Structure 1
């Protein structure tokens, strides 16, 4: 059944009562629901992206610790750069900068986020102990994102252990 209606706005157009489609209210409800779901999902996605960046730093600091151990056993000194470790060809990272701190008995690395408040700071060390016969390693993590703690782990001779600088936490497995 076709109805003809006429008012000032319709200009005499035909409207079919059997026509299918969505009303403006239905479309608005769907758009609002999509917006709510997006508002819930976006923070979860962003936190996962930050965890992925932090994972890069953790694994690179761990790889440097292992490479420092091998370098020390071969050359009786710690390397002061990634190039000397021959660890990776491309030491550039989009998210972290890495710096080395080397002494006669310890080779340390500090990973600092390049963009403020986007990642945690990590530091690691390989240290000689027991008359330079053994090497011990540690990886430390800052408690919150965006902190730029540039201290390296220290050796406690009385306990024969490495410890993280305050307020960092030991995350070595």
Structure 2
């Protein structure tokens, strides 16, 4: 009887040690999925802004610096009201425009999309900050038609 009581105590001790690890792992996975869903919102919207800039350029022979102007091309009436991201556009010159999804939360990563005039055709790139935070990503570059994300960011598929 003592040995079965002892085995039971060992099993209870093992369960007490492993359950917190199991639930912690599940909680981390759920947290990770929640962050990915929030980041996906910005990835989708900035990618859509890139595409809308291409259409805008084809119709107007130039890019726009206004998110409101792009909403028509996105099939939206209003800019997304987001607790997680703010969206903006920056123009450097007539040959490039940058679309931003900047995180409002310290634990989310920010995005930047670049639309460059390569020859006479707009080309796009979408980049993600390597680290989370409320940091506006640096602009991607165009070197002789080769688009590249800036240091500290990585290219993602659109």
Give the alignment partner of residue 97 of structure 1, picking from 64, 78, 86. 86
- What residue number does 1:52 align with? 37
User: Whole-Å Cα distance in 1 between the matches of residues 90 and 136 of structure 2?
Assistant: 14
Give the structure-1-normalised TM-score: 0.72
| Equivalent residues, number | 141
Q: Which runs of 5+ in 2 are unaligned?
A: 1-11
Query: 1:120 touches 1:146 (CA, 8 Å); kept in 2?
Result: yes
Once residues 60 and 106 of structure 1 are traced to their aligned partners in structure 2, the CA distance between those partners, rounded to angstroms, is 18
Q: Which protein is richer in helix relative to its size?
A: 2
* TM-score using structure 2 length: 0.79
Pick from 76, 84, 104: which aligns with 1:114? 104
Q: Which has the higher contact order (CA 8 A, sep 6+)?
A: 2
- The equivalent position to 1:70 in structure 2, one of 26, 35, 55, is 55
Bigger CA radius of gyration: 1
Structure 1: runs of 5 or more not aligned: 1-27
Matched, 1:145 2:132: yes
CA RMSD after TM alignment: 2.2
Per-residue deviation, 1:115 = 1.2
